[in-house]
Structures are given as C-alpha cells and as structure tokens.
Amino acid sequence: MAAKTNVLFGKKLKDATNKDLYYAIASIVNDEVHPQWGETNHTYEKKKVKQVFYLSMEFLVGRLLENNLLNCGLLDDANGALKKIGKDPEKVYANEPDAGLGNGGLGRLAACFLDSLASLKYPGHGCGIRYRYGLFEQRIIHGHQIELPDYWLQEEYPWETRKGEESVKIHFRGSVHMHRKIDGSLEFHYKNTDQVNAVPYDIPVVGYNNQVVNTLRLWSAESITRDTDYLTSKSSKYYHHLDHKHSIEQISGFLYPDDSSYEGKELRLKQQYFLVSASIQNILRHFKRQIGAPLSDLPEYIAIQINDTHPSLAIPEFMRILMDDENLGWDQAWEITRHTIAYTNHTTLSEALEKWPKTMVQELLPRIYMIIDEINERFCRGLWFDHPELRDVIPELAIIADEQVHMARLAIVGSFSVNGVAKIHTDILKKKEMKHFYQLFPDRFNNKTNGVTHRRWLLQVNPRLSTVISEVIGPNWICRPSQLISLLRYSKDASFLEKVDKVKLENKRSLASLIYDRTGIKIDEHSIFDVQIKRLHEYKRQLLNIFHVIYLYNELKDNPNLDLTPRTFIFGAKAAPSYHLAKEVIKLIHTVASIVNHDPDIRGKLKVVFLENYNVSLAEKIIPATDISEQISTASKEASGTGNMKMMMNGALTVGTMDGANIEIRDLVGDQHIFMFGLKADEVLNYYEHGGYTARDIYNTDDRVRRILDQLNEGVFGSQEIEFKDIYYNILYHNDPYFVLKDFDPYIETHELVEQAYRDRSTWMNMSVTNIAYSGKFSSDRTIQEYASEIWKINKTHP
Ligand code: 26V
C-alpha cells in the first residue's frame, strides 16, 4: 500500500487521505484481477464454450471495492493494513461512488446474477449502458422529496476500462431502400441515417475465490465526427457541431426513473435500441471471430437473456443483422433468433407494460419497424389459420395493435423461454396476464424464483453474524448456501441464540449511531427495528405501515401508560419524480415523524425515521440491524421482491402478505416462523374483476380507521389543511385501489403478535435463526443454477 500511494500520489502512507487509500487499494485489486480476467477470456475462447449475455437497461451494482476485495481473498489483509495505520476501513471504502445504474429490484437482481455467474464459474456477462447520471439523489427538504442529479462519474472510476477499438456504429432514422438481386431475393440498404458511436467500457466481475473474472460491458454514446472535422466545412458550424454532439451524448446521459405509469419517451426508445444494437453486433462479432461455426449453430454457443421487455428490440435487431448483413433468408434468421433469446418478465402491473407508438418506431428505426411488422404479420396469419379458437382475441395478441407496438408480445413470440420471477408470479402470467400465449406456447413458460447474492448480502454486510454462523457449522455455507440449513440444529441452543442476539444488538447499535449522525434522532437500541426499505409505490403500501404508526400514536395519546414495547419505524424510499401520490406519502411519513418523535406523552416509545437517499450502500447498513422486515404489498402485485430475502438472511422476521416470494419463504419456514396477514391474491383479483369491496364501509364501521383518515383530512397531521387530501380522496373516492383499509385490521392484529413474540427472547431468536437456516434457497446461486441448466444450457468452466 505504501508503494501504491507513493506511485499514485507521490505521498508517504502517513500523509495519504482516505480517498488516496481508496484509489491505492483499488489499484492493488486491479493488479490482482486483470491477469485473471485475461486468463478467463482466454479459457472461454480456447474452449469455445457456450456463453450467456444478460442484456439489461439496469445494473445496480453499488460499491465494488469491498466486494472485490472479499471475492479475491484480500479483504482481511486490507482491513488489517488499514487499521494498522489507524484508518477506519469503512471510511476508506465510502469514497467510492455508489454506481446507481438501476431503479430497484430489477437492476439489483442483474447485479446479483453477475456475482453468482462468476462465483459459480459460468461464462456469463452483462451488457448495459454507462449512464453518466444514475438514478437521482434524493434530498428531503421540509418533508418534501427534492431530486438532484447523480453525477457519479465526476472523478475517475477505477474499475472501468475503455475499449475504443471495440466500438460499433449505431444507425437511427434515415430511409430504407430495397433492391432485388439476380436470384430474386431482396437486398436492403439504409440511406441518410444518423450515426452514433457506441464505445464499450468494461468492468471486471470477480468470482468468489475462484480466479474467474467475467465482464460487465457498459456502452457509452459518442459522436462519430471528431471535434476537428467541422473545421473543414466552409461556413462555421461550431454551434451546430456542439449541439449535435450533445444530443448524441444524451443517449447514455441518464437513467430513466421507473414511473408510476409507463410513458413512451423517444429518448428512452433510443437508449433501448442503442443498448440492443451495440450488444448484438458485439455478440455476433464474438461469434464469428472466436467460434467461427456456421451461423445456424449459433444457439449452441450463445444464449441471450433479456431483462424485462426493455431490451426486446434485440429480436428484430438480430433478424436485421442476420438478413441484411449476413444474407440469411427470413426462415433461417428466425430459427436462429428464436432459439437464442429468452425473456424474463418482472411485473404484471398493466400500467407498467411497455408499448411504443407505431409512428415513433417507424421514424426512429425504419428497418426495425419493417421487421417487427413482418414478425407480426406472420404471427397473426398463423393464429388465424392454425388457431381458429383464438380468432376473436387476435387484437389482444397482435404485436402491433391500436397504433402501438406491444413489447411483451414481441418478446414472447420471438423467444424460446418466458419466465416469471416467483411461483405465484409465473402462475398469474400463465393463468391471467398471458393466458392465451400460454395456451399457444405452453413449453416456453417457466419459473425462476429470484435470489440475492449471499456473499454481498450476508458475508460482506454482516461479518459478525457470518463469523458466528461459521463457528458452529463451518465455512462451507459460503460456497454452498443451502448448507445454512445445518443451523437448524442450533435453533434451540441457548448459547448460540444468545450470540446471534448479541450480534443483532451490535448491528442495531451501529445503525442507531448512523441514524443519529444523519438525522439527529436518538433511538432506543432495544426497541423493535421495524423496517420498510424499497421504492415508494402505492402497491407496496408504505401507507399501511404509516397508518399503523398513527394508530399506535393515537392509542398512546389516549393511554400514555399503555404497556407497549418500544418501536423504531425505519423507512427508506425514493418516489419517481412525477409520482404525486408517492411524494405525498413521503411527506406524510415526515409529518408523522415530526409529531411522534417530539411528543412527550409518547415517552420515547415510538420513533419514526426516514433515511434519505435510499440506495445499495444504505441498504447494506440497515439490513443487518433489522428485526422486522415489512413486505406488505397488495397480494398479486409484487412479482417477487428481493429485499424480503436479504432481510431473512440477516435474521429479520417477515411481516408480509401472501405475495411474490413471501409465499415461498413461508412454505419453507412454516407459519410459526413468519407473520403473514391480509387478502390473498385470488381474493384481490376477484374484487378487481367482480367488485364487492367498498372502502367507505370500513371507514364507517372501524373507529380506528375513521380517526386516522379524519386526521389526514382535517389537517391534524400537517400545518396546511389540504396537505394529505389526495391520499384521503384516493382511499374514499377512488375506493382504496390497493386495499389499505381492507388489510388494516389484520395488519394491526399481526403486529400485536409480533410484539408478544418479541418479548419472549428465546422464541424470537429461534424464529430468527430458523429464517437464516432456510434462507440458502434464496441465494442467487440457486437461481443461476436453474437458469444455467434449464434455460441457457451452459456449463461451468474448469480452468
Ligand atoms: C419500468 C420502467 C418504465 C419507465 C422507464 C424506466 C423503467 C424502469 C423499470 C421498469 C420496470 C420495473 C420492474 C421491476 O423492477 N420489477 C421488479 O423486479 C424485481 C426483480 O425481479 C422483483 O423482485 C419485484 O417484485 C418487481 O417489482
């Protein structure tokens, strides 16, 4: 390290700042990783192994230094060396910007998958966009969310390597010209296109303790014309040049926030095609140079997974290159494309389904539109002739319908695999959302329940717990997470439970001090840490949680002597900038916090904390200290959830609805080790279809509910009377679309059970350890094994 700081900064170790040390250690890691990276690539090339490419608009990787140190076996050395010179490792690692290139679950899943691919020695790589601005930084001012740009690349990012020589050209707009060749086939040429340079920046993905280093390739948009080119033209085109350059760089300018409802913005479509075209061109170049087999064999060497419909233009883009550049006929090109691409669906929320205006696609991507049109024609013709039973529903299945291109339909028709992300989610796809497609292509549909990398989300973020676990069952769980199940033998062992309990208390103490530093709020480390951290969305029902807080507050006001176990409610959530109701909920949480936290009648029994700018590195601090994991979405709405898994792994107990992966958690741990409540998915779907729920009836009959809603409406919780009227109206006049009132009573009752359980330490710790023991199933290693053997058909490499 001394040598590094000297070489990099010309400084003696004792004079190095935390930031200098961050760069020095990153450079040491790179020295270790880069040769292994070259070796891994060489092995893949030499053995011509089948590889998978994971195409995603988002990779929410967070910080990499500590993770890379851990995976290449240098973490203990680095921590030791830093401590020796009187430095706090945490403060050194905190100099890395959090790579926030994702919105939430979908993007973080992609990052976990990369870790598992490399750690299991699978040849699998990520393809994404190098956004200059990640998801916005959240500030709270007077309880309101304010968005600031997240310029994460301001300083040198030590993990990326620019590969200028591997750039590819992307074409937008222009016109398509057909020409008939002597053999009668058609040839296509494009004229007057706008050209953009896609430049790859590679980031190493380091496997755990195994010498494997895969690649995350992020594409950056650059202008083709050099800054000096315009000098040759007669009139000065300086400003035109700058303007043009700016508009091209905008393509990889920023990540779009996941909105409450989907909106077709042209720049977003450009981003999607940019990612897809660059990645597919790159994959084909790899195939021709390194594999060299006939194109018809391509599906034996390459699989492409598309993360939601966002990269679904991969299908027509693959067709375009195979036909226009490689001169294959339609049928052959289709055969190859359809057997290479697999699609993952991440949501059944109809308002989130991607559709693009037909004219927008036609103008921006004329050749791609022609191909989608042809795919659609052939698909609909097949339906008409071969499936007369489906003739009536063709408009619901057609890829182009009501002047729009329906991306999920394109993705299903053009792929060999369609998967959901938890059992119930896949069942809903099969039975409801995609039932006609399931009828047509039953073999394509399959489930792959999500997972999270236990190396980051247990081993790295909770070293204390990891040590205690390894003390009793040995360290093999690190590579075989299913072995955590051996902990069941200790789930009633008083001395082990006591150790786990002590670890939790230490973690809670650390979080309490972080909370104090950031908010000035003092919290009781012995209180129940009741945590809901996730994007703010109506369906995730942060509102139900804050109603519980208001209810408890009212109870304590009525009876200040109430025997209540102290609770700390912790929230972290970003709302999409244009999501009005979500922002109201953030304001409400702050308003409630400001009242509850300062009311002497409460005597510190309740505290409400909202931690601003929730992101990966904050999650890493909160999760190890969580007692209660709030997973309370309206049943049927949360495709899987992955925060539920991270918290379970760290010994938190779930308060949850029968939704997404919560159901699979319950199936494993059993009803006695989890707190489930509320409407079931079929009940919710039934209400949506047939009616029968009236929120006002609950308002009229339940005093607790009426009191809360009236407090919102009458301005008890807010200085201005109108502040929370929209929430009030949404519940009473739009009939509570997410069933907050309907689930209120069972939710309150469940939390009473939580309180009773918490008072009995040995029962609680037994529940906690049981959850940790069963959490091995939710390692993304298991998920990736399933993708590898059931979808991708790829093998592990043996170096
Ligand atoms: C939609 C949009 C639309 C506007 C532009 C930006 C944008 C970005 C993302 C999305 C879709 C988000 C879908 C999503 O994140 N689904 C979540 O996926 C997780 C991983 O499978 C899963 O655990 C969550 O339950 C699911 O909500």
DSSP 539-585: GGTHHHHHHHHHHHHHHHHH-TT-----EEEEEE-PPPTT-HHHHHH
Q: Is there a contact between 353 and 428 (Cβ–Cβ < 8 Å)?
A: no
Reduced to 3 states, what is the DSSP secondary structure of residue 161?
A: strand
Assess whether 591 and 445 both reside in one domain: no
Dihedral over Cα of 429, 434, 438, 444: its sign: negative
Nearest residue (by CA) to ligand 1, atom 6, is 258
**CATH code for position 750:** 3.40.50.2000
Question: Residue 5 has what pLDDT?
Answer: 83
Q: Is there a contact between 724 and 717 (Cβ–Cβ < 8 Å)?
A: yes
Question: Residue 2 has what pLDDT?
Answer: 85
Distant-in-sequence, close-in-space partners of 779: CB < 8 Å, separation ≥ 6: 116, 451, 452, 453, 454, 481, 482
Which is the closest atom of ligand 1 to the Cα of 105? 19
Question: Residue 8 has what pLDDT?
Answer: 83
Assess whether 87 and 106 both reside in one domain: no
Nearest residue (by CA) to ligand 1, atom 14, is 106
Q: Of the given ranges (124-133, 259-268, 301-310, 357-366), which has the lowest mean pLDDT? A: 259-268
In this predicted structure, the answer to whether residue 730 has a pLDDT above a threshold of 80 is yes
Which is the closest atom of ligand 1 to the Cα of 450? 21
Q: Distance between CA atoms of 699 and 709, rounded to whole angstroms?
A: 8
In this predicted structure, the answer to whether residue 686 has a pLDDT above a threshold of 70 is yes
Domain assignment of residue 720, given as a range: 459-778
Which residues contact ligand 1 via a Cβ below 6 A? 103-106, 109, 256, 258-259, 262, 268, 308, 346-347, 352, 421, 450, 638-642, 660
Pocket test for ligand 1, best of 56, 106, 343, 664 (most atoms within 8 A of CB): 106
Reported confidence tier of residue 232, pLDDT bands at 50, 70, 90:
low
In this predicted structure, the answer to whether residue 230 has a pLDDT above a threshold of 70 is no
Per-residue pLDDT, averaged over 178-207, amounts to: 93
Tens of pLDDT, residue by residue over 151-178, are 999 999 999 999 999 999 999 999 999 9
Assess whether 667 and 574 both reside in one domain: yes
Q: Is there a contact between 756 and 713 (Cβ–Cβ < 8 Å)?
A: no
In this predicted structure, the answer to whether residue 233 has a pLDDT above a threshold of 80 is no
Among the listed residues 534, 541, 567, 583, the single catalytic one is: 534
- Average pLDDT along the chain: 96
Assess whether 682 and 648 both reside in one domain: yes
Per-residue pLDDT, averaged over 15-29, amounts to: 97
In this predicted structure, the answer to whether residue 726 has a pLDDT above a threshold of 70 is yes
Task: Decide if 110 is inside a domain.
Answer: yes
Assess whether 446 and 563 both reside in one domain: no
642 is catalytic: yes
Among the listed residues 535, 541, 583, 587, the single catalytic one is: 535
Per-residue pLDDT, averaged over 725-736, amounts to: 96
Nearest residue (by CA) to ligand 1, atom 16, is 346
Reported confidence tier of residue 231, pLDDT bands at 50, 70, 90:
low
Which is the closest atom of ligand 1 to the Cα of 255? 6
Which is the closest atom of ligand 1 to the Cα of 638? 25
Among the listed residues 310, 456, 540, 574, the single catalytic one is: 540
Give the distance, in angstroms, between the CA of residue 708 and the centroid of all CA atoms in the same chain.
Answer: 34
Q: Is there a contact between 168 and 282 (Cβ–Cβ < 8 Å)?
A: yes
Assess whether 258 and 366 both reside in one domain: yes
557 is catalytic: no
pTM, to two decimals: 0.97
Assess whether 359 and 217 both reside in one domain: yes
Nearest residue (by CA) to ligand 1, atom 8, is 258
83 is catalytic: no
In this predicted structure, the answer to whether residue 544 has a pLDDT above a threshold of 90 is yes
Question: Residue 687 has what pLDDT?
Answer: 98
Tens of pLDDT, residue by residue over 524-536, are 999 999 999 999 9
Reported confidence tier of residue 577, pLDDT bands at 50, 70, 90:
very high
The domain tally of the chain equals 3
Tens of pLDDT, residue by residue over 240-283, are 888 889 999 999 999 999 876 677 799 999 999 999 999 999 99
In this predicted structure, the answer to whether residue 721 has a pLDDT above a threshold of 70 is no
603 is catalytic: no
Task: Decide if 797 is inside a domain.
Answer: no
Tens of pLDDT, residue by residue over 76-111, are 999 999 999 999 999 999 999 999 999 999 999 999
Written as one letter, the residue type at 426 is T
Give the distance, in angstroms, between the CA of residue 148 and the centroid of all CA atoms in the same chain.
Answer: 21
Task: Decide if 317 is inside a domain.
Answer: yes
Task: Decide if 798 is inside a domain.
Answer: no
Among the listed residues 130, 320, 646, 782, the single catalytic one is: 646
Assess whether 653 and 564 both reside in one domain: yes
Distance 714 CA to ligand 1 centre (A): 36
Q: What is the DSSP string of 100-151?
A: EES-SHHHHHHHHHHHHHHHTT--EEEEEE--SBEEEEEEEETTEEEEEEE-
Assess whether 689 and 734 both reside in one domain: yes
Tens of pLDDT, residue by residue over 633-651, are 999 999 999 999 999 999 9
Question: Residue 305 has what pLDDT?
Answer: 98
Assess whether 53 and 80 both reside in one domain: no
Question: Residue 186 has what pLDDT?
Answer: 85
- pLDDT above 90 covers what percent of the chain? 91
Question: Residue 717 has what pLDDT?
Answer: 79
Assess whether 69 and 128 both reside in one domain: no
In this predicted structure, the answer to whether residue 421 has a pLDDT above a threshold of 70 is yes
Tens of pLDDT, residue by residue over 555-570, are 999 999 999 999 999 9
Task: Decide if 124 is inside a domain.
Answer: yes
Tens of pLDDT, residue by residue over 34-61, are 999 999 999 999 999 999 999 999 999 9
- Residue 116: Cβ-neighbour burial (10 angstroms; 0-12, 13-18, 19+): buried
Assess whether 466 and 545 both reside in one domain: yes
Tens of pLDDT, residue by residue over 379-406, are 999 999 999 999 999 999 999 999 999 9
Pocket test for ligand 1, best of 258, 259, 457, 534 (most atoms within 8 A of CB): 258
Reported confidence tier of residue 714, pLDDT bands at 50, 70, 90:
confident
Q: Distance between CA atoms of 528 and 530, rounded to whole angstroms?
A: 6
Nearest residue (by CA) to ligand 1, atom 7, is 258
- pLDDT above 70 covers what percent of the chain? 98
Instruction: Compute and round to an integer the Cα radius of gyration of the chain.
Output: 27
Question: Residue 715 has what pLDDT?
Answer: 81
Task: Decide if 587 is inside a domain.
Answer: yes
Task: Decide if 799 is inside a domain.
Answer: no
Distance 638 CA to ligand 1 centre (A): 10
Question: Residue 241 has what pLDDT?
Answer: 81
Question: How many residues belong to the chain?
Answer: 799
Q: Of the given ranges (563-572, 598-607, 710-719), which has the lowest mean pLDDT? A: 710-719
Which is the closest atom of ligand 1 to the Cα of 642? 23
